[in-house]
Chains A and B, each alone.
Chain A
Amino acid sequence: MEALYPATGARSRSRSGRGSGSAKWRALAAFIAVPVLLPVLVILGSVFVPEGETWTHLLNNVLGEVLLNTLWLVLGVACITALLGTSLAWLTAVTEFPGRSVFSWALMLPIAVPGYVMAFVVIGLLDYAGPLQSMLRDYFGAGAVLPSVRGRAGVIAVMSLVLYPYVFLIARNAFLTQGARALEAGQSLGLSRRQGFFRIALPMARPWIAGGVMLVVMETLADFGTVSVFNYNTFTTAIYEAWFSLFSVKAALQLSSVLMLLVLGTVVIERSLRADAHYTGRGAQNAPRISLKGWIRWAATCFAGAVLLLAFVLPVTQMLIWGWQNFSADFDARYVAFVSHSLLLAIIAALLITTVALLLAYSLRNAPGRFSSMCARLATLGYALPGTVLAVGIFVPLAGLSSVVQGGLDLLFGDGAPTVLLQATLLTMLLAYLVRFLAVAYTPVDSNMQRVTHSVDEASRSLGVSGGRMLKRVHFPMLRGGLLTAMTLVFVDVMKEMPITLMTRPFGWDTLAVRVFELTSEGHWERAALPALAIVLVGLVPIMIMVRRTERAS
């Protein structure tokens, strides 16, 4: 999935930027990087002005538990997704077993299920009052009690099931593109196929797998919805708590700064891993697949089937049942309002963010060089920042700006001055979305921009087509695919997004995700199914696009 690997930015382009035009493009690139830099600086800056009291309170009451919980969660999810993702990727990329061709794409489907959706379905199913335990009690009496799913193991399991596709996709791609030559060379040097896997294929794919796991770690650190359904306290829930229950901006800032440090550490590791990940082979894999024999082939089918069942089929089926049962009760004018808010927000964000991504790609193209690529790298850093952190990091400076403006207005107009509340408008929310999802839009736009070389421009001009006509006849058609992909991906991500929307939405801007949050925090699992289904349905769109593209490529 393109969106998983944001562009690195730095690359050589044939002609270096010259003249005053390139200065303007460089300024634009810098301007685009500001919204990312702002929250990072505001939040990291708060580390250096520790509010003694707040900090002591956090240290004594919150930090220990939250840190431990977060580390366990990250460790558990990283290990399980690495195992699940790599094994499934190898099975579907290299071997042959019944159902293999279906699993190749179907195992990506769980990425469409947001963690918070999976979480409430699992709890609704397995909780004391849920259908499974009720059924057990009916058969075995009141003494039949399952261990609670609400513990650490439950959260780790749920998040692993929705996040393993990241590792699966990237590792599968690595196995597919590494080609058969290296393995054949290994065999000619006397390695068996099994040894070849452990000594050649796996080490060759390792940078990709590790990169995928780092993305999973980022998603885990950023997750708010899943852990809040489980009442499992991590940094994101603590920030939310400080924000809404304690009304303590200081505490939120302090917590955000610690989380930010964790995230930036992950980013550094991930980016250095990505530098190691070179494509080792070209073209299709020529070697015949390894045909699994005997019971092993059915074991492979069962394994892949079980993962798909747990991560996608069961939760979606359960939601369909719940949605059907509650449809008449919940499908009313309010539901339509949630849908239309979600759609409107997602469309505005998709247009805005894709436009900014396009401008960024153009500024890198027209003014290449170290400065512009540094700006692009900064601007696309936001994909790693958790929504809760971003919400705080954008809200605080905007609130500061508002009070400065307000102060000025008060001086000018006295009591009659209009009230300025920048932080409580759509602006905050859209800015936070922009920071978070710019990388998602930038990657496909930039990869298309690579094709629009300078000699394409020159060819067009030498044929008498320049300026706006060139943009329309050459650039736009060449970029169209990337722009559409970018808009689709942002649209879907905004539909799913929960913490930014929760923390910065103006009054009345409730979306489907917000509705899911409200219903699940009151324990109405069955009623959350309808809005959740809509989110999952939309989330399937980019996966369909991706699957179609891979089919076409192979």
Chain B
Amino acid sequence: MRLEFSQVTAGYGDRDVLRAVSFDLASGLIGCLLGPSGCGKTTVLRCIAGFEPVRDGQIIVDDAVLSGPGFTVAPELRNFGMVFQDHALFPHLTVRENVLFGLHGLPAAKRAARAADVLSAVGLEASADVYPHELSGGQQQRVALARAVAPRPRLLLLDEPFSSLDVDLRLRLSGELRDFFRASGTTALMVTHDQKEAFAIADEVGVLRDGVLEQWDTAFNLYHRPATRFVADFVGRGVFVPGTVRSDSEVEIEIGIVHGKLTRPYTPGSRVDVLLRPDDILHDDSSALTARVADKAFRGADILYTLALPSGAQVFSLVPSHHNHQVGGAIGIRLAADHIVAFDRETESG
């Protein structure tokens, strides 16, 4: 199975919700689309499922074109599984009957065996004969998953599968989901607005903004080598401070020189904005560089300090929590980045 989402434009009415979006997903991998609400990520999923037509571009699976301009293979013929945001379980069917629903063309015994397998894989064999409304939110989510994977779909699509669950359950289930996918070799594409979920599950993550795919990459690269300013801003925490490029591995900012390899080439003397992540600024009592503590947030193992630089700009620093400094005091810091992420200077630095 290989999914090619190639130069796809799609939309409703006179509005294009997606504009020339392209990415590939290889067999056995788990992809994730990340972005603020309204960015078009759900539309990508619905185009792949066949619920929305594409206006331009193509959706190709295993060299067969499933969607193109004026041409859409019906969803029921695609053999893709889908898990819906609201689960969309059939309320009139028991858990087992929900799972059996999509199993066609098999002898009854095989269907029953498959349903039992899938239900035990999601840990619901004991609830097989109850109705969905008798289950908790997390259990309903598992039924939705079991129902979608039962017919062994070529590709599994998940639309904000955890959005109706509380935070603890979300993290636990996303871990379980990843293990489940790995064990069964499922190819899956998930949509979420929660980066923790995306990073916990996905091999590859795409960041969408206003219908444009900003970057399709591994979670590591999204964080450390963001392709656009939006991705840098959207993924993880960080602050842009103005600086001047000295060489391909040095950028000077107001409190000193940041060493590290520039992820994008700049000629020396270019005026840029440098991204400083909380883990780029290390606490070092022996350092000559100091900054004033403007605010602090105790987070258990570490403390997130908000530091004010002489110019008034603020940066974040993540410090092990035994280094307890008072708000208003000065602490020594050191700049340490493997990669320097810099973009063209904007008049107003974000």
Contact = CB atoms under 8 A, between A and B. Distances in A.
Interface of A: 16, 18, 451, 453, 455-456, 458-466, 473-474, 477-478
Nearest to A474: B90
Contacts of A474: 90
B102 A461 contact: no
A464 B82 contact: no
B14 to A, nearest CB: 12
Contacts of A456: 88, 90
Given A455-B84, A455-B85, A458-B49, A466 B74 contact: yes
Q: Which of A18, A456, A459 has the most CB of B within 10 A?
A: A459
Interchain residue pairs A-B with the least CB separation, the first 4: A463-B102, A455-B88, A459-B88, A462-B82
A446 to B, nearest CB: 16
Contacts of B93: 477
A307 B332 CA distance: 84
6 contacts: A463-B81, A464-B77, A464-B79, A465-B101, A477-B92, A478-B90
Contacts of A462: 49, 75-76, 78, 80-82, 102, 148, 157
Interface of B: 12-13, 49, 51, 74-82, 84-86, 88-93, 101-102, 104, 147-148, 151, 157
Give the dominant DSSP class at A's interface.
helix
A464 B154 CA distance: 13
A365 to B, nearest CB: 15
A458 B51 contact: yes
Given A459-B82, A460-B90, A461-B76, 18 more contacts: A16-B12, A18-B12, A455-B88, A458-B49, A458-B75, A459-B84, A459-B90, A459-B147, A462-B75, A462-B82, A462-B148, A462-B157, A463-B102, A463-B151, A464-B102, A465-B102, A473-B101, A477-B92
Contacts of B81: 462-463
Nearest to B99: A463
Contacts of A458: 49, 51, 75, 82, 84, 88
Contacts of A464: 76-77, 79, 102, 104, 151
B94 to A, nearest CB: 12
A487 B51 CA distance: 34
A458 B49 CA distance: 9
B88 A461 contact: no
Contacts of B91: 451, 478
A453 B86 CA distance: 10
Contacts of A16: 12
Contacts of A473: 101
Contacts of B80: 462
Given A456-B90, A458-B82, A458-B88, A466 B51 contact: no
Contacts of B102: 462-465
Contacts of A466: 74-76
Nearest to A476: B92
Contacts of A460: 90, 101
Contacts of B84: 455, 458-459
Contacts of A463: 76, 81, 101-102, 147-148, 151
Contacts of B49: 458, 462
Q: Quick one: which of B77, B86, B147 has the most chain A CB within 10 A?
A: B86
Contact of A478 (B78, B86, B92, B151): B92
A18 B81 CA distance: 25
A335 B304 CA distance: 88
Contacts of B12: 16, 18
A466 to B, nearest CB: 4
Contacts of B148: 462-463
Contacts of A478: 90-92
A478 B101 CA distance: 15
A474 to B, nearest CB: 6
Nearest to B77: A464
A462 B151 CA distance: 10
B76 to A, nearest CB: 4
Contacts of B75: 458, 461-462, 466
Contacts of A453: 86, 88
